[in-house]
Each structure stands twice: as C-alpha cells, then as structure tokens.
C-alpha cells in the first residue's frame, strides 16, 4: 500500500475518479487544500463525498509554494508520502515542485510549468520545429494590435494560464480584439485565488477538425492510448460540445496526430510520470498542436477510453505518480466506440424544464447527468457552463457520436429556460 499526497483537485468527475482509482489500487491518500469549502459546496448527489475516503484532510495555503515546500517536508517526515498528485491544472506545477523537493517520482517541474503556460508551450514547440499556429504574446495594447495585424484576422485570443476554454475567443477585427482583451483584464485572479499573468496570447485561427491524443509517459517512454475527436460550439467562444473515442479518422490522420503529439511531449520533456491530453488540429496543411495538457483528459474522456479499451487512465495516473509501470494492456469490452455529448445553454436565465429520465432505459446509453430545474443558467462561454451530458456506447462500430446527437436533440426539445 502506498500513500499519496493529493494537492487540490477539480470538483468535477476527476475529483471522484481519482480517489476511486487510488482506493482500487490498494493505496490511500492525504488531501491538502487551501479551501475545504470549495469542495464541500459541490458534494455529488446520491454518493459519498470523495474526500470521505481520505486518510487525512489538511488545510494550508497551497498557493504560496515558498512556504508550502518546507511545510510539506515536515508533513512528509511524519506521514511518509510515496507520491504527489493533483487533477487541477492550476496546481500541476506545484505538485511537480513538491515531488522534486521530496525526491519522489514525477515529471521535471520546468516541463510541467512550460506545459501549463501556453506562451511557453508555443515558444518551445516552435523552437523544436513542432507545427503550430502563428502566434504572438504581449501585454500592452499597442503590441497586441500590431501583432494582430501582422498575423492577420480572424484570430484566437487566449489567456496564457487559464483552462476549460475560459476567455478563449475568436476575434474578426480590432474592435472585437479590444473587447476580448478588456474581458481578460477584468479577470485578474483565477478561481483558486491565484493572480493571473497579464500576457495575452494571439494565435492564427486554424482550419480543420480538432482531436486529442491520450498518452501515458513512464520511464522515458510515451505510450499512445488513442485519439479522441472533439466538436466545438458556442461561437465566438470555443466550447467543447462532445467527444468520441476512438476518433473516426483515416489511418493516415490518426498516425499524423499521434506523431505530432509525441513530438510535442518530447520537446517539452513530458516523458516520465505524466498522463497527457494533447489537442491537435488536423488542418489542410497538416496537424498543428493546439495545447498540451500534462494531466488526464477532462470531460469524461477518460471514461470513454475505459468503456472502449478497458484501460483506466485515472489508475495509470496513480501508477506513474508512484513511479510504477502502468497497466495499459486493455481488454475487449464489447464496445467499438463511445461518445459523450454536452447540453450547452445558448441563453441565460433559470432552468424551468429538462427531463431526461427516459434516456436511462435507451439501449446503449451509459450515462445521463442533467441539471435540476431551478438552476441559474448562463449562456455558455466555456466548458464550465454545461447543463449536463449523455454518454453512449456502440458495440458495432463508430456510431456512438451520431446516436448521442440524436439523444441530445430529444433533450433540447424539452429544454425550457426562462
């Protein structure tokens, strides 16, 4: 039995999948947070709270790394940790620094820091010859306006240090660019109380479908688990509306996406102790890297992978965080594809009606999770604004995506927002 230190977590599905994987692996964990109420406010309905499985729950300022490292060193002397882990993007660099400080398994802190900073990722991949969009990163308006004219509209505007698609916007002219930059400036602190970097990233708008490559890195070797597709909505925002695993691609495109992701991970140095989720655009000029995420995929992609392949990426994340070789052998699950579709609100208001109980009895449906009437709804601007999801498996082939879309259409017909 190993003892993991879990530093913060998301409050979504990975907050349940990761503690479960730790327990099923025969291990235990101590949970460390700066704000326990952040997690208690989002206790899952009809299930025991994931933190009830913790050996210890401790509170301290997880945002002050300088003070945190000596404090964890003292805790390590008493509790003896075998690994450090988090599922929250904002604490991935902190966890890497803790692991290095304690001499525990994990990726190099610099590699994780560079993956979490989108401007650093762009610079490193460009220097290594890994294809991506034309880009520029600036803070001052005059520099941003000039760079936008040089790259050419339309553009994608991104914060360099947020996630879940927050404040990522398409802009078609200087007026829209100014509005996007002002919106970012009005959000100086992230949801975890960390002050944001004021740099703004401008990127060329890429054509073509987007996919993600799911990988596991251990002992210098990167193993590709598969490629997931992605649909996007919510323009001018970029909201993920659904995924299917495996992506319905030609063998040529699959190989191109995988090799591009492997090149990106190698360039960043993410070849040990990482379960990664690398987003790729399959453009008319070939694959281009969108982002590299040094943690397992969100939006329940890990569950799509498990339903189809039998590979548990949450369990693999636990294994590599302990320095253990992950089990990636997989199994025949009886499914050839699995897809998830998200119900994305197009207007703000209060949810008056949404009934999906009947979907639970539909053949092939794996999950249905929907918001309750009375919920305050915001027109989707990021992946944090869903009203729920439907997940479907297909035992015959790559039909899961189409089936999910049919079921979402049924849900939309009964959706009332006032």
Instruction: Band the pLDDT of 44: cuts 50, 70, 90.
Output: low
Would 296 be classed as within a structural domain? yes
Give the DSSP letter string of 351-407.
EEE---GGGGGSTTEEEEEEPPTT-EE---SSTT---EEEEEEESSSS-HHHHHHHH
Q: Which of 204, 221, 253 is the last residue of a domain?
A: 204
Q: Residue 417: exposed, middle, or buried by beta-carbon count in 10 A (0-12, 13-18, 19+)?
A: middle
Q: What is the dihedral of CA 101, 103, 104, 110, to 10 degrees?
A: 50
Tell me whether residue 220 is in a domain: yes
Within-domain flag for 109? no
Judge whether 257 and 282 are in contact, CB under 8 Å. yes
Instruction: State how many domains the chain has.
Output: 4
pLDDT tens column, 305-345: 999 999 999 999 999 999 999 999 999 999 999 999 999 99
Instruction: Specify if 126 maps to a domain.
Output: no
Residue 110 lies in a domain: no
How many whole angstroms separate alpha carbon 44 and alpha carbon 386?
Answer: 16
> Which of 300, 333, 366 finishes a domain?
333
pLDDT digit string, tens, across residues 57-76: 999 999 999 999 999 999 99
Residues 43 and 74 in one domain: yes
**Stated pTM of the model:** 0.95
Distances (CA, A) of 5 to 81, 96, 196, 372: 6, 12, 26, 34
- Listed in sequence order, the residues at least 6 apart from 61 whose beta carbon sits closer than 8 Å to its beta carbon are 34, 67, 68
In a domain, residue 123? The reply is no
| 26 and 88 together in one domain | yes
pLDDT band at 41 (very low <50, low <70, confident <90, very high): confident
Pair 253, 322 in one domain: yes
Query: What pLDDT shows up at residue 361?
Result: 85
Calculate the alpha carbon distances from 373 to 125, 341, 351, 360, 376 in Å: 46, 20, 5, 18, 9
Residues listed for the chain:
418
Residues 212, 200: one domain? no
Q: Are residues 12 and 91 in the same domain?
A: yes
Task: Please give the mean pLDDT across all residues of the chain.
Answer: 95
Residues 246 and 324 in one domain: yes
- From 150, 171, 204, give the residue that closes a domain: 204
85 and 12 belong to one structural domain? yes
Q: What is the CATH number of the domain that holds 370?
A: 3.30.470.20
The pLDDT of residue 43 is above 70: no
Closest CA relative to residue 86, chosen from 222, 310, 275: 275
Please give the Cα distance from 17 to 302 (Å, whole number).
9
Digit-coded pLDDT (tens) for 120-148: 999 999 999 999 999 999 999 999 999 99
Instruction: List pLDDT tens digits, range 271-313.
Output: 999 999 999 999 999 999 999 999 999 999 999 999 999 999 9
Same domain as 199, residue 280:
no
Same domain assignment for residues 186 and 212? no
Domain range for 215 is: 207-333
* Most confident listed range (28-42, 44-58, 264-278, 371-385): 264-278
Whether residue 97 lies inside any domain: the answer is yes
pLDDT digits (tens, 9 = 90+) for 195-253: 999 999 999 999 999 999 999 999 999 999 999 999 999 889 999 999 999 999 999 99
Q: Are residues 212 and 322 in the same domain?
A: yes
> Are residues 214 and 278 both part of a single domain?
yes
- How far apart are the C-alpha atoms of 273 and 363, rounded to whole Å? 38
One domain for residues 320 and 211: yes
Asked if the structure places residue 219 within a domain, the reply is: yes
């Amino acid at each position: 039995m190993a003892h993991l230190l879990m530093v913060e977590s998301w409050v979504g599905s990975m907050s349940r999948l990761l503690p479960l994987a730790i327990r099923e692996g025969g291990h235990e964990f101590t949970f460390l947070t700066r704000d326990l109420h952040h997690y208690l406010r989002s206790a899952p309905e009809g299930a025991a709270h994931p933190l009830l499985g913790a050996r210890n729950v401790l509170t301290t300022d997880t945002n002050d790394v300088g003070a945190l490292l000596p404090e964890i060193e003292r805790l390590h002397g008493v509790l003896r940790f075998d690994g450090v882990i988090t599922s929250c993007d904002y604490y991935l660099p902190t966890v890497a620094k803790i692991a290095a400080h304690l001499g525990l398994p994990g990726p190099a802190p610099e590699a994780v820091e560079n993956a979490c900073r989108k401007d650093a990722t762009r610079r490193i991949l460009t220097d290594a010859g890994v294809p991506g969009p034309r880009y520029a990163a600036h803070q001052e308006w005059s520099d941003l306006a000039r760079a936008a004219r040089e790259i050419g509209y339309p553009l994608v505007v991104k914060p360099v240090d947020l996630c879940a698609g927050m404040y990522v916007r398409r802009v078609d002219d200087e007026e829209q660019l100014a509005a996007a930059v002002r919106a970012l400036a009005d959000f100086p602190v992230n949801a975890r109380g960390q002050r944001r970097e004021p740099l703004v990233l401008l990127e060329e708008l890429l054509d073509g479908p987007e996919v993600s490559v799911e990988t596991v890195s251990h002992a210098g070797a990167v193993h590709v688990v598969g490629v997931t597709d992605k649909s996007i909505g919510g323009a001018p925002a970029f909201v993920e509306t659904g995924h299917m695993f495996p992506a319905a691609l030609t063998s040529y495109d699959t190989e191109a996406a995988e090799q591009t992701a492997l090149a990106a991970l190698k360039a960043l140095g993410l070849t040990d102790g990482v379960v990664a989720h690398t987003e790729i655009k399959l453009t008319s000029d070939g694959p281009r890297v969108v982002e590299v995420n040094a943690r397992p995929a969100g939006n329940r992609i890990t569950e799509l992978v498990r339903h189809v392949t039998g590979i548990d990426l949450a369990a693999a994340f636990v294994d590599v965080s302990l320095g253990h070789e992950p089990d990636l052998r997989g199994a025949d699950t009886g499914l050839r594809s699995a897809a998830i579709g998200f119900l994305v609100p197009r207007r703000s208001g209060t949810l008056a009606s949404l009934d999906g109980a009947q979907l639970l009895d539909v053949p092939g449906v794996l999950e249905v999770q929907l918001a309750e009437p009375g919920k305050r709804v915001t027109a989707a601007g990021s992946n944090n604004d869903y009203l729920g999801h439907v997940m479907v498996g297909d035992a015959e082939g790559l039909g899961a995506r189409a089936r999910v879309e049919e079921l979402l259409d049924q849900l939309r017909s009964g959706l009332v927002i006032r």
